[in-house]
Amino acid sequence: MREMVDRDRERQQLLDAARTAPSLIIVIGRRRVGKSFLLERAFAGERVISFQGDEQDENHQLELFAAEAGRVLLGSDALRFSTLDAALSFLGEQARTAPMTIILDEFQWLKYAQPALDSIIQRHWDRWGPRGSASDPGPGRKRADTYGGVAGTRARRCSDGRRRGRTAARRVPATPP
């Protein structure tokens, strides 16, 4: 397993942001700076559904997402969803039983396949958030769901003069300010 170098602060920011139920974390940045690796390592050992979008249509994306969710939650890739609404409803119910983290990597391809994806997530987010019926996480629960696809990149100069990206977590409020 590769070692994570100089990402302790970012890892801790992700974990701190994910402690509130539900949490939305957005990580953005240049390609190949370690965003996916950071998310994988930050949430290692937790109940994580990690899905990487690609240039396929919505049905293929949904089929692959269902298989990953099934493997993580049910121990089988036999899970199927007819729509993104069905998928998010199922995940909301699963999150009520135990905390989970959902990582949507390469979100732009998911959005390309389903242009209404932001609105679909928002509709479910509103149900999971403080104003919705899912806001009570239950006894001993710290969070209901984490969507990560996931929070700002800034470049800095290394001692040898090269530029290096740094990914940082940023908490996004569930309701507009």
What local confidence, expressed as pLDDT, does residue 122 receive? Answer: 93
What local confidence, expressed as pLDDT, does residue 140 receive? Answer: 37
Measured distance CA(163)–CA(20) in Å, rounded:
34
What local confidence, expressed as pLDDT, does residue 29 receive? Answer: 86
Global pTM value? 0.70
What local confidence, expressed as pLDDT, does residue 151 receive? Answer: 35
**Domains defined along the chain, listed by start:** 8-167 (3.40.50)
Per the CB < 8 A criterion, the answer to whether 16 and 9 are in contact is no
Per-residue pLDDT of 81-126, as tens digits, reads 999 999 999 999 999 898 899 999 999 999 999 999 999 999 998 8
What local confidence, expressed as pLDDT, does residue 171 receive? Answer: 40
What local confidence, expressed as pLDDT, does residue 55 receive? Answer: 96
User: Which residue numbers in the chain have pLDDT < 50?
Assistant: 131-177
